[in-house]
Structures are given as structure tokens and as C-alpha cells.
Chains A and B, each alone.
Chain A
Amino acid sequence: MAIVTPTAVGIVPQWQMLLPQMVAQPLQTALRNLNYLHRFHRPALLSAVVNADPLLTRTAEYHVPVMPSADGLRYTFEARFICSNATQTVNLSWDYCTTYAGGATAWTNLAANNVVTGGAGTLTTRTDADLTVPANAVALRCTLTAPGAGTRTDHHLLVYPTPSAATATAYASGFRPFDDGLFLSADGAPVHTEFLNRCKRSAAAIVQDRKQMAFSFVQEFRTAPRLIRSSSVAEGPYPIGRAFFPNQKGTTTLDVRVIAGVSAGATAGLVSLAQVGLAKTAFAASGSIESGTLNVQIQGSGLLAYADLQFWLKYVAGNATRPWAIVAFYTPGA
């Protein structure tokens, strides 16, 4: 009895697919691929090129809403930044929370490390591997301290699943691993419909459970982030970002999460995410995580199928609207 997890996806050769039999192969390859998927299906839960002031001499905090796996998986965290001076020490920490309350949030630490940078002006990539994010986490925080000398420019935050190999259990996502012992006993267990259905159900469970970040605009969590809206016309759009939805057609529904604030006054409807020329969903700049959906129509076709997305900010005279994180998640099949 063994739950074997291949380190590469098993491709069934064409000759095995011509009038295949209901025997161990090629079904075993497909079932083992489920174990592979559990460990190696790795779409980014968070991918944000942060919109922060360059050349910082202060600590920066980024708060990003997330929709982690129901299975409480391990994730790998990467942060990219550049220090102007060589061999600077920057403390880089990752935290999660299960209830978000802005600056009053109670965070749980995942990792905190002093990172020594390389040469002056060179890119530093810090990887913190295999940190478990519980299913009920609602946001992640990344904090980078100021270097001792010179400046720091933050570039990119990336988080993707890197679970351990599947074990014999029923996962909350609906995934069921495959144990060779079910198949390869000395007597030869019967092939029944459960094996076939498991291929679909477990594969679908994984692809739907691991949300894929399809849009990101993330700024420092502070009262004066790089972009605020406090002048000009009441509401305006910001740069268009094209999200690619490989091989998708028709429509899909994105899960949108927003963290934004306003200096004073009403909060309702100050932040929106839209598909250019089509649907638009408004969110409050409440300081909490605001949730909603955006139905998008997929344009183009094939691998380059896409939707052009754009966020809008509104301000009321005298008040400043501060967007800290506007993100959207794609669920294949949704």
C-alpha cells in the first residue's frame, strides 16, 4: 500500500489510449497524476508588483486579501526588492490573519528573517518555503524593514502552494488521493467506476480549490500610499491590466477583495473594479476587507484568451481615498 506522488506529470502514450483495457494501465498513470496534482498544482495565490514609493528609508507593510486552499496547505513565499547599498540587513516577515481589522489586526507570524542583501543596486530575492496558511486565513501581511544605510525599493510579492505529498485522508477541498494498494493487490482488485470518477472529482476539486490571482494592485499600508485620489474629477479609471484566462470561453466570475480607506466621510462605492467597457463592481473604502464578484466576458481565444480589467477610484471633495489592495481571484469553471 503506497500513495505514490510522481514528481512529474505522467503522460499516457498514445498507443495506450487506443482501445485501452480496464486493467491497471493506463488508469494507474491517471490516478497517480492526481497525487501529482495535489503536490504540484501551483497557481499563484498572490502575485503583486507592489506600487510603493521607490528608494524607501522606512519600514513598509503590505496587506493583501487572500483565498487560501480549504486544505490548509503549505505555501512558498517570495519577495523581491533592491537595496541601494551592498550587504544591507532587511528584516522580512510574513504574517496571516483570520479576521482583518486594518492597523488593529491580530496577525499570526509565519516567518521573520534577517535578509542580507547582495551587491549595491542588485535584486534580492528572499524565499520562505513551505509555510502553512490555514484555510480560514483572510489576508497576508509582508513587512520589510529599512536597511541600515541607503534605500530599499520593493518590487514583487509571490505566494504559491507547495504542499507536502498527499496522505490517506479525505481532504476538505474534496480531493481524494490514490493508493496503489487499491489497484495492485496480489489478487488484482476490480476496476470500478469510483476509480474513473475519482480522476475527475479529485482533479476538479484541486483546480477549483486553488484560487488563482488574476488582478493585483497593492500599495503600502499607510495613510499616504503612493496613489491616493484626492483631486480632479470625482471618479476616474486607472491603468488597464490584461488578465489571461488560457483556453477559456464565455464568461467567468472573479472573486474580488478590496482593502481601502478614506480620510473622512462616507465610504460606500469609492473603489470599483471593472472589465473595460463592461461590468463594474463597487466596493466601500471601509478599512475592512470588502468582498464581491465581477462577471467578465472572455475575449480572444485559445491560450491568449483575456479580459482587460481596470480599477476606478472616487473621491468626495476634501477627502482622500486610499486603495491599499485591489485583487481578484479566478476559479476555473466558475
Chain B
Amino acid sequence: MRLPTVRNWKSQSMSAALTEDATPPAAAALLLQAIAWAEDVALTPYVGCAHVFDGLTETAVETKHLAVVVAPGAVHMRAALGVSYAPFGVDPPSNPTDHAITSTASGAGADDVIKAAMAIVFDFESRQFWSLSQVVLSSDTVDDQPAATKRRQIEVQTLAAPYVEPMSVTQATSFAVAVSQQLADLEGL
């Protein structure tokens, strides 16, 4: 018994010699791996560096400006923010509200500021310990056209080459960002 051949004419070279296609299954497997290696290195987001610093102690250091290199194909990012006691001498707000994050791609308007919940580390018992510290992840909500500042994901440019995205963050003792969403269809790059 022979089943009908499944042939995708679109992928065929109609003029190439048959010998150029001597082992199609092996060729397909090898080619797909070869293609994937280069593409995966290009598209896998870079490590999200854990930056540790004093962003609490004084008014002048509460907002930190930085930049991250964004790999191709990224759509949104989320941030991990740390808040700590003792090491820098001053407690975080006793009634935690929100960090404020900005990125150039997220927009420059007042409504474009991204809020991120602040870790609650206010605890009379645990304050006895040196440098109590917690990390929180910013919101997973996607809203690229916010009517008001809100907890949401950070917008980045979706490009086919890496670029530098300026950001800022307030009242944190550590900050890192990770690509949380990539382009669903890479052919759109």
C-alpha cells in the first residue's frame, strides 16, 4: 500500500536537480535546527540584571534613571522591585503605595507612568532583623493606552534588532526587568 505523498509545492524548487534533495527528512530536521540556533540566540531576551542600589534614603536618590538593552521581538516587560529596611539607614514608607516606572516606549504623558505595587515590609517584629528585604513583580495587566497612571506592563519597542530603552524607577532598593511578552508571529518582525 502506498499513501499519497504530501507535497508542499510552495516549498519546492521546480528547477533544482533531484540530487539536491537526496534526503528530505534528514535535510528538514537539520535545516530546522540550523535555522533555530541562529534565530533563538537573536530572539532570546538578555538576562534581566539585578541592579542593587539605595533608592530610599534621601529625596535625591528616590528616582533612579537607567537603561536596558532590549532584544528583538520583545513586546512588553515586567519589573522586579526590591524594598529593604536597614542597610541604607531609612525605612521605606510605613504605608506603602506604589513605585513609579517610566520607559520611553511607554510614553511621556502623565498618564503613561506605570505604577507597581510596593512590597510591604513594615513589621515590628521583623524590623529587628538587619536589612529585611522583599521583591515584588510588577503587574501583568496589559494596557498600552491608559487613561490614567495604573499598574500595568512596561511597553517596549518591537524591533528586529536590539535597542536601548531608557527607564526610571522610584523608591526601590533593587530593580530588574524581564521581557514578559514576545511577538506572537515572528514573521511580523
Contact A82 B65 (CB under 8 A): yes
Task: Give the residue of B16, B33, B187 whose beta carbon is less than 8 angstroms from that of A13.
Answer: B187
B1 at interface, CB cutoff 8 A: no
Contacts of B31 in A (CB 8 A): 17, 20, 22, 26-27, 30, 196
Chain A residues 289 to 308 lying within 8 A of chain B, measured CB to CB, are 303-304, 306, 308
| B interface majority secondary structure | mixed
Contact B21 A21 (CB under 8 A): yes
A250 at interface, CB cutoff 8 A: no
Ranked 3 nearest A-B pairs via Cβ: A241-B50, A244-B48, A8-B160
Contacts of A34 in B (CB 8 A): 38
Contacts of B35 in A (CB 8 A): 12, 17, 26-27, 29-30, 199
Closest to B21 in A: A21
0/1 interface trace, chain A 191-234, chain B, CB 8 Å (1 if under): 10101100110111011000011111100000000110000110
Shortest CB-to-CB span from B186 to chain A, Å, is 5
Task: Give the residue of A11, A42, A200, A310 whose beta carbon is less than 8 angstroms from that of B189.
Answer: A11
Shortest CB-to-CB span from B55 to chain A, Å, is 8
Contacts of A26 in B (CB 8 A): 31, 35
Task: Give the residue of A7, A199, A309 whose beta carbon is less than 8 angstroms from that of B50.
Answer: A309
Shortest CB-to-CB span from B136 to chain A, Å, is 9
User: What are 26 residue pairs bridging A and B, where the CB atoms are less than 8 Å apart in the complex?
Assistant: A12-B35, A16-B11, A23-B20, A27-B31, A33-B38, A40-B42, A41-B162, A44-B46, A49-B53, A49-B66, A54-B61, A80-B67, A123-B65, A156-B65, A156-B66, A160-B69, A196-B30, A196-B33, A200-B37, A212-B47, A213-B49, A238-B84, A243-B48, A246-B47, A303-B182, A304-B137
Contacts of B110 in A (CB 8 A): none
Contacts of B21 in A (CB 8 A): 21-23
Shortest CB-to-CB span from A83 to chain B, Å, is 12
Contacts of A242 in B (CB 8 A): 48, 50, 80, 82, 135, 174, 176
Count of chain B residues with a beta carbon within 8 Å of a chain A beta carbon: 81
B131 at interface, CB cutoff 8 A: yes
- Cα-based distance from A332 to B40 in the complex (angstroms): 12
- Given contacts A14-B187, A156-B66, A213-B47, are A239 and B87 in contact (CB under 8 A)? yes
Residues of B within 8 A of A (CB): 7-8, 10-13, 16, 20-24, 27-28, 30-35, 37-55, 58, 60-61, 64-69, 72, 78, 80, 82-84, 87-88, 130-131, 133-135, 137, 159-162, 164, 166, 173-182, 186-187, 189
- Cα-based distance from A215 to B61 in the complex (angstroms): 20
Contact A207 B41 (CB under 8 A): yes
A37 at interface, CB cutoff 8 A: yes
A112 at interface, CB cutoff 8 A: no
Task: Give the residue of B60, B67, B69, B84 whose beta carbon is less than 8 angstroms from that of A43.
Answer: B69
Contact B13 A23 (CB under 8 A): yes
A143 at interface, CB cutoff 8 A: no
Task: Give the residue of A40, A193, A207 whose beta carbon is less than 8 angstroms from that of B161.
Answer: A40
Closest to A328 in B: B50
Contact B80 A153 (CB under 8 A): no
- Cα-based distance from A16 to B46 in the complex (angstroms): 28
Closest to B167 in A: A156
Shortest CB-to-CB span from A197 to chain B, Å, is 8
Task: Give the residue of B47, B54, B175 whose beta carbon is less than 8 angstroms from that of A214.
Answer: B47
A158 at interface, CB cutoff 8 A: yes
- Given contacts A36-B42, A78-B67, A80-B66, are A19 and B8 in contact (CB under 8 A)? yes
Contact A227 B41 (CB under 8 A): no
Contacts of A13 in B (CB 8 A): 187
Task: Give the residue of B22, B38, B173 whose beta carbon is less than 8 angstroms from that of A203.
Answer: B38
Contacts of A54 in B (CB 8 A): 58, 60-61
Contact B69 A9 (CB under 8 A): no
